Chains A and B, each alone.
Chain A
């Protein structure tokens, strides 16, 4: 079983729709939860991060974490064609021996917003 599971899509929605993207995870040691956006032929860029259960809002984006269910979500309101990209969830966990942090990414969900 993968530590992080993410539906690869593709997900096609009309412009203006509310988009829900989700990841589940199995490692309860994960401490930080992030969402990255990756446009075609580009490196990922950070959208949002959170470290506690609950919601965090930034403009049209809301990140939600439910640690009891090991489930995180990203909601996009009023979706735009420019939101068309691959969205990757990511989680970080501390290496107890070295004290460093490593990252585990989901496989990414490809989103297409139709004009």
Chain B
């Protein structure tokens, strides 16, 4: 089944404790992206990647890191999480042009205390 998977689905952590949210897709898509979704602010792009070793900042990259060492994986790293990073995070992937469908993962709900 074609899908985007994220792990963990739920995470409660404390300020300053480094964490990684993994994202993997099995569709051989070149483009992958991370978003956060907050009430009243909607879905905002954090980072995106056009291909292996090619990444670019979205609208809200501060406090996040990404890497794209393999085509299928695009982990999101929070080196020193803070409470304002409490949010619902989505990973997405697509193939081809910018109008092609982005396939979204199921989401990761992160709470930073």
Contact = CB atoms under 8 A, between A and B. Distances in A.
Note whether A and B form a binding pair.
yes
Interface of A: 6, 8, 31-32, 34, 41-46, 49, 51, 88, 90, 92, 94-95, 98, 100-108
Contacts of A101: 98
Nearest to A50: B99
A27 to B, nearest CB: 12
Nearest to B43: A105
Contacts of A108: 42-43
A104 B59 contact: yes
Contact of A8 (B40, B92, B107): B40
B50 interface: yes
Given A88-B43, A103-B45, 12 more contacts: A8-B40, A34-B99, A43-B4, A43-B107, A44-B43, A44-B104, A90-B43, A92-B98, A92-B99, A95-B56, A105-B42, A105-B45
B36 to A, nearest CB: 11
Contacts of B62: none
B13 to A, nearest CB: 21
B42 A31 contact: no
A42 B33 CA distance: 17
A46 B42 CA distance: 16
Most buried by B among A88, A90, A102, A104: A102
B71 to A, nearest CB: 16
A34 B97 CA distance: 13
Contacts of A41: 107
A31 B97 CA distance: 12
B101 interface: yes
Contacts of B50: 98, 100
A29 to B, nearest CB: 13
A108 B92 CA distance: 18
A2 B33 CA distance: 21
6 contacts: A45-B104, A90-B43, A100-B50, A102-B48, A103-B33, A107-B40
Interface string B37-68: 00011111100101000101011000000000
